[in-house]
Amino acid sequence: MKKFFLGVLIIYAVYAVLISSYLVLVETPLPAQYIGTEADPQMFMSEEQLVLSSELSKWRNVIYFIHTPFEWMIYLFVLLFGLSQLFARWSEKVVKYHLFQTGLYVILLSCVSFILSYPFKYLSYSISKQYGISIQTFHSWMKDQFISFWVGAILLIIVVHVIWFLINKSPKRWWFYTWLLSIPFTLFLMFLQPVVIDPLYNDFYPIQDKELEIAVLQMAEQADIPADRVYEVKMSDKTNALNAYVNGIGKNLRIVLWDTTLERLTQDEVLFIMAHEMGHYDLHHLRQLLLGTIALSFIGLFIVGKLYHVTIRKYGNKMNLKHHDLAAIPIILLILSLLSFAASPMSNMVSRAYEYQADRYAIELTNDIESAVSTFQRLSSEGLSDVNPPAIVKFFRYTHPPMVERITQLRKYYEEIN
């Protein structure tokens, strides 16, 4: 098993060198039809911004494509070197009740993952700060990291305990019962996130610009969004990027604007952003994504159940693992991570389609193409975004269309309806 891990490690190292070289050296020229148009970054970004955008994007892409398989290596490492088995035995020895055993095991596993992944996270933070996107202090950043650690650990404890319980009760159909329970669990998290999880990271308060709030709420009424207030979130002490969103369900639904967005965009530009975000709600994208996630999780968990059974049957003895062992949980996490990565091009493609639809909705609602275009240009320049990424980056990373395509498509649609 250790020799197998060494072989995988060599393959990973070769992959890391090749993918990094490609992402650093490849240049994606702007197609001729975009040159000189309002979608051309040369028209709205300075020479310095263009250089910084290219460098920053390459750094981010390299980190993503190296870090993602590195997470898989962590799961293999704890399995093949006996750490998972050691954590499980120690947890079962130290505490009596199954839930606490699961909790201690998951915390130990999460600590290993956090420590090994920390260099990638710190590098990403340092680069964002170096290029002026992040202005967050190290202390504040570490605070967010520890919050994320404990939020993730608590959620993982619940998930792992349920899976472990179901595997023991129903070795063949545990994946199906896990899928059934994941549906209300996902809805519950969507309900909690705006009022419980998000405030752990940032301060939310009613928007101070009451005139803008009235305009946003009037727009929300047109979109049949049941909101009676608009929230502002303090992000200016962490980032120079701009954003806004509508999230949550039921009485916890929230319309939120970053304070950086309010400070740097005009009211018409802010209203276009809000019209776009409301479009996601009115076009039922959140509901469709939820249904799609439920359907994909059924397929994914079915595959996980089959692969987990085969893995334990073929390699369980070599790893000193049985089907119902808590120590075997990293196998499930590894398979889930692999499937999630494999499905990301398709899910990103659907997300990009929704973004185009929300753009069209927003321009129909505001009929202000100039504010729409200037908004996209500002989002790109302020965030040093790569408006024309390589195809592999677009497929695996871009949940939103590249800005050069987005601006062009929106202008074309505006001319069609006018």
Catalytic residues: 277, 359
The answer to whether the annotation marks 323 as part of a ligand binding site is no
The answer to whether the annotation marks 269 as part of a ligand binding site is no
How many Å apart are CA 63 and CA 124, to the nearest integer? 7
Q: Give 232's strand partners.
A: 205, 257
The answer to whether the annotation marks 92 as part of a ligand binding site is no
- On whether the CB atoms of residues 366 and 272 are closer than 8 A, the answer is yes
Query: What is the CA 390 to chain-centroid distance, rounded?
Result: 20
Which phi and psi angles does 235 have, rounded to 5°? Answer: -120, -5
Longest dimension (CA), the chain: 72
How many Å apart are CA 362 and CA 351, to the nearest integer? 16
How many Å apart are CA 150 and CA 276, to the nearest integer? 33
Characterize the bridge pairing of strands 230-233 and 254-258: parallel
- On whether the CB atoms of residues 259 and 151 are closer than 8 A, the answer is no
Residues contacting residue 140 through CB under 8 Å, at least 6 positions apart: 237, 238
- On whether the CB atoms of residues 332 and 163 are closer than 8 A, the answer is yes
**Binding-site residue set for Zn(2+):** 276, 280, 355
**Binding-site residue set:** 276, 280, 355
